Amino acid sequence: MVSEVKRTIEINPVSRIEGHGKVTIQLDEAGNVVDAKFHITQFRGFEKFCEGRVFWEMPVITPRICGICPVSHHLASAKACDAILGVELTRPAKLLRELMHMGQTIQSHALHFFHLASPDLLLGMDADPAKRNVIGLIAENPELATKGVKLRSFGQTIIQSLGGKKIHPIGAVPGGMNTALSATDRDHFLKQIDWAIADTQIAIDIIKSYYDKDKDFVCTCASFPTGYLGLVDENNNLELYDGKLRLLDSKGKVLEDQFEPSNYLDIIREHVEDWSYLKFPFYKKMGYPKGIYRTGPLGRLNVSDGISTRLANAELKNFKKLGNNGIVEGSLYYHYARLIELLYAIERTKQLLEDGDICSTDLIVTSNKYNEQGVGVIEAPRGTLFHHYWADDTGKIIKVNLIVATGNNNAAMNKAVYSVAKEYIKNNKITEGILNRVEVAIRCYDPCLSCSTHALGQMPLAIHILSADGEIIREISS
Ligand code: MG
Ligand code: NI
Ligand with smallest separation from the Cα of 108: 2
Residue 436 has pLDDT above 80, yes or no: yes
- Regarding predicted confidence, which is higher, 276 or 14? 276
Query: What dihedral angle (degrees, nearest 10) is formed by the CA atoms of 431, 433, 435, 440?
Result: -170
* DSSP run (H or E) holding 389: strand 383-391
Rounded distance between C-alpha atoms, residue 68 and residue 54, angstroms: 25
Q: Which of 185, 234, 200 is nearest to 109 (CA)?
A: 200
Burial class, 424, CB count within 10 angstroms (exposed 0-12 / middle 13-18 / buried 19+)? middle
Q: Name the band, by pLDDT with cuts 50, 70 and 90, for residue 313.
A: very high
> Residue 12: what pLDDT?
61
In 114-206, beta strands by DSSP E: 172-173, 176-177
For 6-64, the pLDDT digits (tens) are 466 666 656 555 556 788 899 999 999 999 988 765 556 788 889 999 999 999 999 88
| Residue 327 DSSP class | B
- Those residues whose beta carbon sits under 5 angstroms from the ion ligand 1 are 402
CA of 420 to the centre of ligand 2 (A): 25
Given CA atoms 15, 18, 20, 26 in this order, what sign does their dihedral have?
negative
Mean pLDDT on 184-201: 98
Q: Which of 126-140, 316-330, 416-430 is predicted with the least confidence, judged by mean pLDDT?
A: 126-140
Q: Name the band, by pLDDT with cuts 50, 70 and 90, for residue 457.
A: very low
Tell me what percent of the residues of the chain surpass a pLDDT of 70.
Answer: 91
Rounded distance between C-alpha atoms, residue 335 and residue 76, angstroms: 24
| Residue 54 DSSP class | B
Mean pLDDT on 81-96: 98
Sheet-wide strand order for 383-391: 373-380, 383-391, 397-403
Mean pLDDT on 170-194: 96
CA of 374 to the centre of ligand 1 (A): 15
Rounded distance between C-alpha atoms, residue 157 and residue 196, angstroms: 13
Mean pLDDT on 425-452: 84
Residue 346 has pLDDT above 70, yes or no: yes
- Alpha carbon 450 to its chain's center: 12
pTM of the model: 0.93
> Residue 42: what pLDDT?
56
For 364-414, the pLDDT digits (tens) are 999 999 999 999 999 999 999 999 999 999 999 999 999 999 889 999 999
**Per CATH, which fold does 46-412 belong to?**
Cytochrome-c3 Hydrogenase; chain B (1.10.645)
Q: Which of 27-41, 217-231, 249-263 is predicted with the least confidence, judged by mean pLDDT?
A: 27-41
CA of 277 to the centre of ligand 1 (A): 10
CA of 453 to the centre of ligand 1 (A): 10
- Regarding predicted confidence, which is higher, 125 or 352? 352
Q: Which of 63-67, 81-85, 169-173 is predicted with the least confidence, judged by mean pLDDT?
A: 63-67
Ligand with smallest separation from the Cα of 67: 2
> Residue 473: what pLDDT?
78
- Regarding predicted confidence, which is higher, 473 or 97? 97
- The answer to whether the beta carbons of residues 23 and 38 sit under 8 Å apart is yes
Rounded distance between C-alpha atoms, residue 204 and residue 339, angstroms: 6
Rounded distance between C-alpha atoms, residue 227 and residue 24, angstroms: 25
Ligand with smallest separation from the Cα of 380: 2
- Domain boundaries along the sequence of the chain: 46-412
Residue 1 has pLDDT above 60, yes or no: no
- Checking 132-141 for CB contacts under 8 A at 24+ apart, the result is 132/436, 133/15, 133/16
> Residue 95: what pLDDT?
98
Query: Does residue 63 have a cis bond before it (omega within 30 degrees)?
Result: no
Rounded distance between C-alpha atoms, residue 249 and residue 234, angstroms: 20
Q: Name the band, by pLDDT with cuts 50, 70 and 90, for residue 262.
A: very high
> Residue 4: what pLDDT?
37
CA of 46 to the centre of ligand 1 (A): 9
φ and ψ at residue 63, rounded to 5 degrees: -60, -20
Mean pLDDT on 325-337: 96
Mean pLDDT on 85-97: 97
